[in-house]
Structure 1
Amino acid sequence: MKPFIFIAAVALLAAAPARSQALVDPSKVAPEYREAAERRRAEQLRQRECAMKADLAKVLPRDRTTYLNHCLETMAAKQ
């Protein structure tokens, strides 16, 4: 039983932590793709803002997707 526990502990420690998607930096993209990178960065910033609002509102995980979709739709309607 001890070898199993040891192997399981090593496997958990060796696993890389999951990282969130980094913000796109348009200045580090080839010129022909810069416009798309700028649009992607703007979308990422809107998503982060809505996620922050959901955190501050303490939205339950089961309701989070609905809240985020509504928030993104509201932001799109304002523009």
Structure 2
Amino acid sequence: MKLTALAIFVSLFSAVILQTAPAQKLVDPDKVAPEFREAAAKRRSEQMKIMDCNKKAEEAKVLPRDRASHVQHCLDGQ
């Protein structure tokens, strides 16, 4: 009986943790040390391209299973 209650608790706890996981934030080159600003600007540019391709995939109503290949194809075209 205790094992079942523990299993339910762990399942619910892990579901809550996974749902509240934060998304990756956009890099702000101004908040990075001066020697890393160029790399941060490049990373932000990559992030913006990925966000744009994800938006296009949402608008095209691409299925979740096909989204990675759709986004990769979009990135290759840019």
User: Is TM more than 0.5 here?
Assistant: yes
Quick check: 1:73 aligned with 2:76? yes
Which whole-Å CA distance do the structure 1 matches of 2:23 and 2:46 have between them? 15
Shift of 1:15: 3.2
Q: Which piece of structure 1 moves more, 34-43 or 63-72?
A: 63-72
Output aligned runs, 1:1-79, within 5 Å: 4=5, 8=9, 12=13, 15=17, 17-75=20-78
TM-score, scaled to structure 1: 0.78
Residue-pair matches, total: 73
Moved over 2 A (4+): 11-16
State the identity %.
Answer: 49
Shift of 1:14: 6.7
Structure 1 segments unaligned to the other structure (5+ residues): none
TM-score, scaled to structure 2: 0.79
Structure 2 segments unaligned to the other structure (5+ residues): none
